[in-house]
Structure formats: structure tokens, C-alpha cells
Structure 1
Amino acid sequence: MAMRDSLKAADVHHFVYNTARPPLGATPFDRSHPRWAGVRFAPALEDGTDLPWDGHR
């Protein structure tokens, strides 16, 4: 993540692969656990802006 932050700060265009963010909404884990402190969560599936493609979102 440090490299991503430095590229973003330098205004360098880049791609980041394999960045998974846990969704808000119903989740199988406790978001108040210290493991999740400072983690940016993705919107809940119902609130997401991704358009459906071939029946999936």
C-alpha cells in the first residue's frame, strides 16, 4: 500500500491488482475488531454503483 500511496501522491497513473475491500452491510466478521481498524470498506452490495454484467455484480 505504501507504493500505491506514493504513486498517487506523485500523480502517476497506475493500476492496483488484488485489492479486496470487505463490504459494508451484513458481513461474517466483527468490524469493531482491531484487525479492521483503519480499513476502508467497500459499499454494501445493495448500495454499490457497479452495473450488473451477465447477471452478476
Structure 2
Amino acid sequence: MGLIREPLDVDLFVDPRPLTENEKRMIGDFIKADKKKRKSKTTSKKDTYTQHTV
């Protein structure tokens, strides 16, 4: 895998802007939903596992 080089004649500037309240709420809701989805996946795997004793 090699390095990606920027073209010499292109300048990229990023001007960060503050988030609006609506954008903050949307991001927060997405994170909560993602955490809930991930948590339900891990708990469902634990519930379906049965240990066999010999």
C-alpha cells in the first residue's frame, strides 16, 4: 500500500462551521440508535449460547 499524493496545483481548505441545534440533535439521535443496535446484537448472541456439559 502506498501513499496518496495531493496534486501540486490543488489547495484544499476546510472551514469548520458550528453545528446548528438541529444537526446536533440528529447526530445524537443517530449515535443513540447505533449504540442500541450494537448492544442488542451482542446480548442476543449471549442469550443463544448454551454450554454443553459432559
TM-score band by shorter chain is under 0.3
> Normalising to structure 1: TM-score of the pair?
0.22
Q: If the length of structure 2 is used for normalisation, what is the TM-score? A: 0.23
Largest Rg, 1 or 2: 2
The structure that is helix-richer by fraction is 2
